[in-house]
Chain A
Amino acid sequence: MQARCRVLVVGGGHAGVEAAAAAARALGGGEGVWLVSMDPARIGAMSCNPAIGGLAKGQMVREIDALGGIMGVAADHAGIQFKVLNSSKGPAVRGPRAQCDKEAYLAEVQRLLSTHGVRVLQGLVERIVVESGRCVGVRLAQAAPEWRASQASIDWNRGGERRARPVYELAVGAPIDAEIRADAVVLTTGTFMRALMHTGENRTAGGRVGEGVAAGISTALRELGLELGRLKTGTPPRLRRASIDWEALPPQHGDDPPQPFSFLPAWHMESGRFPKLRQVECRQTSTTAAMHELIRANLHRAPMYAGAMETQQGPRYCPSVEDKVVRFADRDSHGVFLEPECLFTDEIYCNGISTSLPAEIQHELVRHMPGCSRAEIIRPGYAVEYDMVWPHQIDATAEAKSVPGLFLAGQINGTSGYEEAAGQGLVAGLNAARRARGEDPARIGRDQAYIGVLMDDLVVRQPREPYRMFTSRAEHRLSLRSDNADERLTELGRTWRLVPDARWSAFEAERAAMRSLREALQAAHIDGQVAALWARRPDATLDRLAAAAACPVDARLDRVVTDLRYEGYLTRQRAEIRRQRESEHAPIPAGFDPDAVKGLRAEAREVIRKFRPTTLGQASRLAGVNPADVALVALWLRRGSARRPA
């Protein structure tokens, strides 16, 4: 018998999980949402560094949270060191970050997913089923066994005083048929599509150590006419903690008190307290001249330099230690951060020396770092190359332009990072659910969220390396703050049914409290000046404002005062945003043929044909399209609407 669901999510990484959870919320329940994973016990795994958030990324985590997503809540439950980066700089560029216990994080993600009621299957996708130009399901390699959340494991994990267990377990029962029909399919293959890992001359097929490879999907996507590319990324070796002179190295502490990601109040935590886990410090060491010498002597054995990799397109912002030594030859030391991956295991992430040199060289290398003379490697670092789909082929809704019903999210679109993946997953899951319900697609603007900047950049630019978010990519940076993500998005999320009642009432209460605080600052006076105006002075202090408004010095006051201080800068920006909105979201239909537009320049026609912009806003941001071209396209579109019956 043929299996049937509404939204099918392929992949259980950060994109897949947010996609499944968002689809479940938007559909009003997870019964119709299925998630297929090669290994459901690894759903929610952190493949690389043990941290969530950071600069620009922390803002995205809070946006995901403001839209009812999973990532922020999971990080709050699994965090073992919380730190706001750039805390000495303006509020717009502060980025919350949390080191996490990877096992606790994975367990919490699985628990949260299970509360959404999503059905989890184990399987490997072989084929994407398309009928009459629409994606209608997938075909798995074989019938898929079902996995279920174990209440015993959830109970085991609750207190956080012992090593966390994965929540999903193989369930007893008949497997689901290999051919699954769905109203919409979300593909989140991560680094697994035709993945190849390199450590020196050793090559292993697979996207993560000890896990498999998705070989068939690449071919299936090509057959659908999609243009594929290949990117690479890498990961550093993991060291055994007991083999490091841990106490001898300088410590790195988190913030005290720590600040959570989620806008939900702390009592909402499953454990009832925040932080849930014991807080720890990281340690700092560095590379040395001797280490650099050793790397230079063995460069020919690094796959990238030996020409053993198919792609040169690795991230400039995350270079391997080989690249650092070659590109910055005058330096004889780079910082390395030793970060615990788990409270209850010995594994230390060696942040700063991503490498694909042969394992035996790596063993030698790490011992050249201060405090590491006896260091043992638990798992060597490696480079991984994988297939991706050039993202101009999706819309900012994550739906493939040429295959309605097929959504792509995460590294498959050429991005890098957990947060970037999660943001796309949320957009894809939401729109897959809306597609299943026959609703209009949901779009998030560049002026509303980093997630909006991300989706727009993906569809109007050709990436030259895995795409990572930076605050400098956002032209509306001053308004896209981590502290106001709820104000920017929660109401919008509510209209898309992403925001459950509990979160909504917490938001409404906070909004009301902020409103009365603003009124209090308007009514109060300091030094004969209205407090709300006095707050803009460079020497204004929160203490005096709190005294004037008779309120505590807290995050809420800080946020309201930040709004006041940025006011002058934001007014102009808002006028600009209003002006752009006139045409920003005006849709360009799928069948749009630029040749039909009289007078459109050849270059503009060519660019539009390639990128197939779906809104006038996207068209205006394409390199090679000028305002007059946009005006012509706008006129042509009005012709369409004039002909359609009202």
Chain B
Amino acid sequence: MSGAQAHAREVIVAVASASGRAAVLMVRASGPDASDVLRRVDSRMPFGPMRRVVRAGEIELPIGRLPCLVLTMPGPASYTGEDSFELLVPGHPTLGLAVARALETTGIARSASPGEFTLRAFESGRLTLEQAEGVAATIAARTDAELRAASMLRAGVVGRGADAAAEAVADLLALVEAGIDFTDQEDVVAITPSDLRVGIDRVTTSLRAMLQGAISMERLESAPWVVLCGAPNAGKSALFNALLGRTRAVVADVAGTTRDALVEPLRLDGPDGPVEVLLVDAPGVDGTVHGLDALGQRMRDEAMRRACVRIECSHDGTWTRDSDPSSICVQTQSDRASFRAVDGWLATSAITGDGLETLRERVAAAVLGLAAPASAEGVVLAERHRALLDEAVLHLQAALAAIGSGRVLAHPELVAAAMHGALESLGGIAGRIAPDDILGRIFGRFCVGK
């Protein structure tokens, strides 16, 4: 590889730890602009060239800031020989993927293909060929297993849903392509913009329904989210800190102090050994909507969506709209003189520690009592699948936008480009649909040929 090409290289990103439970999980990145990538997500990254350090960092995620350990390794004395960094985050697959996505959405990094770190390490002379081949072969074997898993998945609900969507898009695309490639054939009647719009709308709706009814795979296979909710200033942050046994959230007497969702792993003692959960302090919501901005609202919604167990916090036993019958109801600040216990609510105090042990036990019991899938109809989605479906919806929206308002498609090539994008995204879940297949659909439908 020439120097010029090496220079044009992008930063590559991957979640590097093996799947399964681990106390910490590693997200790594490598490339000439690794410093820039890190700086865009971690406000604590110092300016200037990368230095070899280990330090605390804080990664900006849609659900809040995630504290992590940052290892920065400037090239050429790194694994890949390039500027690299590793982020050690709590051992939770969702967090790992979320961090990787945050790095990729900087726009100057992309997800690494299998074996790419090793290839770079070999190219820069950091690995011998034998070492590199060993690593790559392992990856190939794993990819093979993943492919087998993917083909099994295709028979499942997600696969069938994505397959159906891809089929529908391919059929519509065939009509658009026929209107491009066979307009010299009088037998071909190009699809009208309104029919196309209806067809794309239908696919988009079905994809959205899949996304909404979906349970994330990560939720099923990894640590459950335990979310503290309740009105602003209900004492959630104090309880959060008390349960963790250290100060993490900023506690103040002003309502709405917590603007960001805080996420921390918490280990509880269950009857059969330790239970790991992620404790989430969601920003409070009050009825008058004062205090919360749109970002906070989104993070709160995200936390609620992912919640397995909710802890409803209140001074006086008042429910909020986030409560549901399965919530654990906790009455806070039992140490106050004005405290009056309410029936059915667990009295706690972050200051005296009153009721915390009971709360821990009840959370552990609730987590262990969770049935495997919460809803049999729901589609189980891995984070990657969710991202691909999201992407497909975006492409289809772009296709709709390109349809225009005329009676005929003025720019079928732009509509087709967006639809090809959607097919490619869906192809990551369903089977791939090749150009030949689109042509086959045209030939099957129209009498093409002079």
Interface of A with B (CB < 8 Å)?
49, 54-56, 85-86, 88-90, 92-93, 97, 315-319, 324, 327-328, 331, 334-335, 337, 351-352, 354, 461, 470-473, 475, 477-478, 538, 569, 578-579, 581-582, 598-601, 626-629, 631-632, 634-636, 638-639, 642
**Could you tell me the distance between the alpha carbons of A54 and B449 in the complex, rounded to whole angstroms?**
13
Which of A55, A578, A582, A600 is in CB contact (< 8 Å) with B140? A600
Q: A599, B141: Cβ atoms under 8 Å?
A: yes
A residues less than 8 Å from B177 (CB atoms): 470, 472
Q: B414, A569: Cβ atoms under 8 Å?
A: yes
In the complex formed, the residue of A with least CB distance to B432 is A623
CB A500 to nearest CB in B, in angstroms, measures: 31
Chain B stretch 113-161: residues in CB contact (< 8 A) with chain A: 113-116, 118-119, 122-123, 129, 132-133, 136-141, 143-144, 147
Q: B412, A93: Cβ atoms under 8 Å?
A: yes
In the complex formed, the residue of B with least CB distance to A319 is B449
In the complex formed, the residue of B with least CB distance to A569 is B417
CB A238 to nearest CB in B, in angstroms, measures: 14
Chain B stretch 369-422: residues in CB contact (< 8 A) with chain A: 404, 408-414, 416-417, 420
Q: A638, B180: Cβ atoms under 8 Å?
A: no
17 A-B residue pairs with Cβ-Cβ distance under 8 Å, sorted by A, are A55-B181, A88-B408, A90-B411, A315-B449, A317-B449, A352-B450, A471-B180, A472-B416, A579-B10, A627-B115, A627-B143, A628-B136, A629-B140, A631-B136, A632-B137, A632-B140, A635-B118
**Could you tell me the distance between the alpha carbons of A328 and B187 in the complex, rounded to whole angstroms?**
11
CB B417 to nearest CB in A, in angstroms, measures: 6
Q: B139, A472: Cβ atoms under 8 Å?
A: no
Q: B417, A599: Cβ atoms under 8 Å?
A: no
Q: B413, A317: Cβ atoms under 8 Å?
A: no
Q: B140, A638: Cβ atoms under 8 Å?
A: no
Q: Interface segment, B208-216, B241-249, B434-442? A: B434-442
Q: A639, B186: Cβ atoms under 8 Å?
A: no
**Could you tell me the distance between the alpha carbons of A639 and B132 in the complex, rounded to whole angstroms?**
11
- Whether B448 sits at the interface, judged by CB under 8 Å, is yes
**Could you tell me the distance between the alpha carbons of A475 and B118 in the complex, rounded to whole angstroms?**
30
CB B311 to nearest CB in A, in angstroms, measures: 44
Which of A54, A86, A315 is in CB contact (< 8 Å) with B180? A86
**Could you tell me the distance between the alpha carbons of A601 and B414 in the complex, rounded to whole angstroms?**
38
B residues less than 8 Å from A473 (CB atoms): 435, 439
Q: Give the top 4 A-B pairs by smallest Cβ distance, nearest first.
A: A599-B137, A631-B115, A628-B140, A628-B143
- Whether B19 sits at the interface, judged by CB under 8 Å, is no
**Could you tell me the distance between the alpha carbons of A579 and B439 in the complex, rounded to whole angstroms?**
28
B residues less than 8 Å from A636 (CB atoms): 133
- Whether B184 sits at the interface, judged by CB under 8 Å, is yes
- Whether B205 sits at the interface, judged by CB under 8 Å, is no
Q: B181, A626: Cβ atoms under 8 Å?
A: no
- Whether B447 sits at the interface, judged by CB under 8 Å, is yes
Q: Do A478 and B449 form a contact, CB below 8 Å, given A85-B184, A631-B113?
A: no
Q: B129, A628: Cβ atoms under 8 Å?
A: no
In the complex formed, the residue of B with least CB distance to A337 is B450
In the complex formed, the residue of A with least CB distance to B138 is A599
Q: B140, A317: Cβ atoms under 8 Å?
A: no
A-B contact count (CB 8 A): 152
Produce 1/0 per residue, B9-23, CB < 8 A to A.
Answer: 110000000000000
**Could you tell me the distance between the alpha carbons of A636 and B122 in the complex, rounded to whole angstroms?**
11
In the complex formed, the residue of A with least CB distance to B436 is A461
Q: B184, A55: Cβ atoms under 8 Å?
A: yes
**Could you tell me the distance between the alpha carbons of A327 and B115 in the complex, rounded to whole angstroms?**
49
Q: Do A317 and B143 form a contact, CB below 8 Å, given A93-B180, A472-B435?
A: no
Q: B448, A316: Cβ atoms under 8 Å?
A: yes
**Could you tell me the distance between the alpha carbons of A569 and B443 in the complex, rounded to whole angstroms?**
29
- Whether B183 sits at the interface, judged by CB under 8 Å, is yes
Q: A56, B447: Cβ atoms under 8 Å?
A: no
Which of A88, A93, A352, A598 is in CB contact (< 8 Å) with B137? A598
B residues less than 8 Å from A582 (CB atoms): 1, 5, 9
Which of B9, B119, B183, B450 is in CB contact (< 8 Å) with A49? B450
B residues less than 8 Å from A632 (CB atoms): 115, 133, 136-137, 140
- Whether B294 sits at the interface, judged by CB under 8 Å, is no
- Whether B8 sits at the interface, judged by CB under 8 Å, is yes
Q: Do A331 and B447 form a contact, CB below 8 Å, given A569-B417, A628-B143, A631-B116?
A: yes
CB B194 to nearest CB in A, in angstroms, measures: 18
Q: B187, A478: Cβ atoms under 8 Å?
A: no
CB A40 to nearest CB in B, in angstroms, measures: 30
Q: A628, B115: Cβ atoms under 8 Å?
A: yes
Q: B417, A631: Cβ atoms under 8 Å?
A: no
Q: A598, B133: Cβ atoms under 8 Å?
A: yes
CB A308 to nearest CB in B, in angstroms, measures: 22
A residues less than 8 Å from B414 (CB atoms): 90, 478, 569
CB B107 to nearest CB in A, in angstroms, measures: 10
Q: Do A472 and B450 form a contact, CB below 8 Å, given A89-B411, A335-B186, A631-B115?
A: no
Produce 1/0 per residue, B344-384, CB < 8 A to A.
Answer: 00000000000000000000000000000000000000000
Q: A316, B443: Cβ atoms under 8 Å?
A: yes
Q: A635, B409: Cβ atoms under 8 Å?
A: no
A residues less than 8 Å from B147 (CB atoms): 626
A residues less than 8 Å from B138 (CB atoms): 599
CB B16 to nearest CB in A, in angstroms, measures: 16
Q: A582-B5, A635-B136 are in contact. List 10 more A-B contacts (CB 8 A).
A: A56-B181, A86-B183, A90-B410, A90-B411, A90-B413, A319-B449, A334-B447, A473-B435, A582-B9, A626-B147
A residues less than 8 Å from B136 (CB atoms): 599, 628, 631-632, 635
Q: B183, A55: Cβ atoms under 8 Å?
A: yes
Q: Do A631 and B119 form a contact, CB below 8 Å, given A89-B409, A89-B413, A578-B8?
A: yes
**Could you tell me the distance between the alpha carbons of A328 and B449 in the complex, rounded to whole angstroms?**
12
**Could you tell me the distance between the alpha carbons of A419 and B450 in the complex, rounded to whole angstroms?**
17
CB B415 to nearest CB in A, in angstroms, measures: 10
CB B306 to nearest CB in A, in angstroms, measures: 31
Q: B129, A634: Cβ atoms under 8 Å?
A: no
A residues less than 8 Å from B413 (CB atoms): 89-90, 92-93, 471, 477-478
CB A352 to nearest CB in B, in angstroms, measures: 5
In the complex formed, the residue of B with least CB distance to A474 is B435
CB B126 to nearest CB in A, in angstroms, measures: 13
Which of B129, B140, B180 is in CB contact (< 8 Å) with A599? B140
B residues less than 8 Å from A89 (CB atoms): 180, 183, 409-413
In the complex formed, the residue of B with least CB distance to A323 is B449
Q: Do A472 and B119 form a contact, CB below 8 Å, given A88-B408, A316-B443, A477-B413?
A: no
**Could you tell me the distance between the alpha carbons of A351 and B450 in the complex, rounded to whole angstroms?**
5
In the complex formed, the residue of B with least CB distance to A315 is B449
